[in-house]
Each structure stands twice: as structure tokens, then as C-alpha cells.
Amino acid sequence: MGKKSSLRVIPVKVEPVSSLTAAERTAVLEVCARLKPLAGALIPILHGVQGALGYVPKDAVPLIAAELNLSRADVHGVVSFYHYFRNEAPGRHVVHVCRAEACQSVGAVALEAHAKKSLGIDFHETTTDGAISLEPVYCLGNCSLGPSIMVDKQLQGRVSPKRFDELMVQARASS
């Protein structure tokens, strides 16, 4: 019959092909290494990657999946389910508009409509000049001073459409 082969198969870890820059790849791997010991590490890793890069690049998904021994579909499913995670680089400034009931009761619905019209974009989009991304948020914890927005990490209360426009002029000027 047949002889047994003396060849030994050695498993090799194959990294997914990626168009991430070296710096982006290093950032993703650093976040993974630091957080993967946590139970349920995927969401903290996604937050860490977005914190480091400003978004979760599409090509980071296979790398994160490989690091956590998950399928790409598992990682993509979490990224696409949660609106907080973005898969494209944000504008130079990110504007969050509060959509919670307290803000809605004092004019946030009209402010939201004004913001979309004024910027020419919808939620989860970025202006064509790359200056501003618009995002919904469901509470900024500033209920007594609604309607509220957050420009980058700066909370703003009692925002009227006129004040919104002034804040956007300031944001664009600081870019």
C-alpha cells in the first residue's frame, strides 16, 4: 500500500490583505493587543480604533477579525449596526445634534432640519468641502439648555438656527 509521508504541516498565520497605511495598521494592532484580553473585546476595540483614527476603516475589519479570531462578517455586523461607528473618515469637525425628547420639546426638530438644509447633508454625511460631518445623538446630558449640539467635543446649549450658522462659520474658520 502507500508509504506515510514524513512531511510535517506547519500552520502559518496569514494576515489579511489591507490598504491601511503602516501608521493605521500599527494603531489598529496596538488597540487590539491592548484590549483583546477584555471579555467582549470587540466593541472596546472598535471604540479604540475610531478614537485613534477617527473612524474604523473598511480594511481594518479583516485585521480586527483575525486578531480576535472572529469572522469578518461578525466584525462588519457590529460596525454597521451601531451608528456611532463610521467607516469613512469624518470631516474636520463633527457636529452632533441632540435628538432626545427634552431637546425636541424646545426646538431640536426645527434645528435638525435647519442643520441639514444649511450644510446640504443628512446625518452620517460630510460636507463636500470635507469640513463638517453631521451626526445624531440621543442625549448630550444638557437637557435644561436644549436644544443642544456638540461641535467636536465642545457642548453648546440653547442653539437656535442663527447660532448654529454662526458656530459653523467659526468651525470652518478654524479648519
CATH number at residue 101: 3.40.30.10
For residues 150 and 141, give the distance between their C-alpha atoms in angstroms, rounded to a whole number: 11
Q: What distances in angstroms separate CA 135 from CA 29, 95, 121, 164, one per listed residue?
A: 27, 6, 10, 14
Provide the pLDDT confidence category of residue 129 given band limits of 50, 70 and 90: very high
Whether 34 and 77 map to the same domain: the answer is yes
Same domain flag for 27 and 66? yes
In this predicted structure, what is the pLDDT of residue 19?
A: 84
Q: Output the CA–CA distances (angstroms, integers) from residue 154 to 33, 64, 90, 133, 151, in the order listed.
A: 31, 31, 16, 15, 5
Map grid coordinates 437637557 to a residue: 143
- What is the tens place of the pLDDT at every residue in 86-125? 999 999 999 999 999 999 999 999 999 999 999 999 999 9
Under 8 Å between Cβ of 67 and 25: no
> How far is residue 4's CA from residue 68's CA, in Å, rounded to a whole number?
36
| pLDDT attached to residue 94 | 95
Please tell me whether residues 73 and 117 are part of one structural domain: no
Please indicate, yes or no, whether residues 30 and 73 belong to a single structural domain of this protein.
yes
Task: Residue 25: count other Cβ atoms within 10 Å of its Cβ.
Answer: 17
What pLDDT does residue 1 have? 57
Q: How many independent structural domains does the chain possess? A: 2
Residue 31 pLDDT level (bands cut at 50, 70, 90): very high
pTM score, whole prediction: 0.78
Domain extent, residue 61, equals 22-81
| 2: in domain | no
Domain co-membership, 122 together with 150: yes
**Domain presence at residue 44:** yes
Residue 11 lies in a domain: no
Cα separation values, 74 from 51, 114, 128, 140, Å = 21, 37, 32, 29
Contact yes or no for 125/117 (Cβ under 8 A): no
Domain boundary among 54, 81, 108: 81
**Residue 122 and residue 158 in one domain:** yes
Helix/strand number for the chain, H first, E second: 7, 5
Judge whether 120 lies within some domain: yes
Specify if 54 maps to a domain.
yes
